[in-house]
Amino acid sequence: MPEAVPAAPRPPPVVRLATSSGLGNRMFQCLFAYRLAEEFGVPVTGDSLPEWGLLHEDSAVPLPSVYLQGHMPSPANLRRLWQLGHLQGIETNALACRLELMPSRAAAQALFRDQGATPQRFAPDCLVINVRGAEILGGRHKDYRPLPIAFYERVVRETQRRPVFVGQIGDDPYSQALRARFPDAEFHPSRGVMEDFATLRAARHLVMAVSTFSWLACWLSEAKTIHMPLTGFFHPKRRKDVDLFPLDAPRYRFHAFPPDAWMGTESQMHETIAGPEAGRRISHRYLLTLVHGIKSPEPVPAPPPAVVSSAATA
């Protein structure tokens, strides 16, 4: 009886990156493609990110193939399908805004290296506040919104740092209200996406905007403190498919808001500008319960210092 011929090793799948939207979204899409490529030991092909010097050769996607989107693709399931012979091509447009689907922070920093953009640098006592405005002010997306001005007032008051506003600052009512409420603050309108990213990445103390761009600039920075608002796209009750909460990083300060949709109505804008909603600071422990449903034991209070009597020390 002739011996069975061993099956040839299965070639790894092609991983092709398909990007869309603004720089922050394209960076997230790129990060997941690199995470998949590492999983299968292959290079990333497809769309490039020339802003970051990432140039990829294009390639056809062989059949059988899959097109990935959204925030919850499963690398383990993709590997299983490939091992079973059901998958040979992966084209990914997935944002995959979940920490477990991303490369390590060190790997992401190495991928998105300095490209020569000149950051604006501020004194160490400044609080650099990234402003997201422009098209989202009118309710273009229910999960992207400007932050209440009362929130900025609270954070500035609690941190006792000098506010510096950077980003999408124009002549709209929201920007005008910011200038009126912070007459002594610095305001720096956008100088371009790469310059703005470099400015945020170089800051020591940051307040994040509701934005993938802003999240990445803060995460990749060496900032000592990062204030992250849990609202819109970042609210666990609004977007259960998103998990961008670095619970192991003490430099993050999390601030909870009501899980309201942003419609950009006149009344919502009035509340954002003049209303009392300032959010509230929550602990990493509380956020762990909010996001993952994990209940932790109450921290054990430190014992009081021992009292040494004068007789004992005589």
pLDDT at 18: 98
> Within a domain: residue 70?
yes
CA angle in degrees (0–180, nearest 5) for 237-243-246 = 120
Write out residues in the chain with pLDDT < 70, as ranges: 1-8, 298-314
Question: Does 257 lie in the same domain as 149?
Answer: yes
Give per-residue burial for 172-204: e unless 16+ CB within 10 Å, then b: bebbebbeeebeebebbebbeebbbbbbbbbbb
> Within a domain: residue 9?
no
pLDDT at 313: 46
Question: Does 70 lie in the same domain as 43?
Answer: yes
Give the dihedral sign, CA 82/85/86/91: positive
How many domains, in total, are found in the chain?
2
> Within a domain: residue 283?
yes
pLDDT tens, 236-250?
Answer: 999 999 999 999 999
pLDDT at 32: 98
**pTM (2 d.p.):** 0.91
What CATH number corresponds to the domain at position 258? 3.40.50
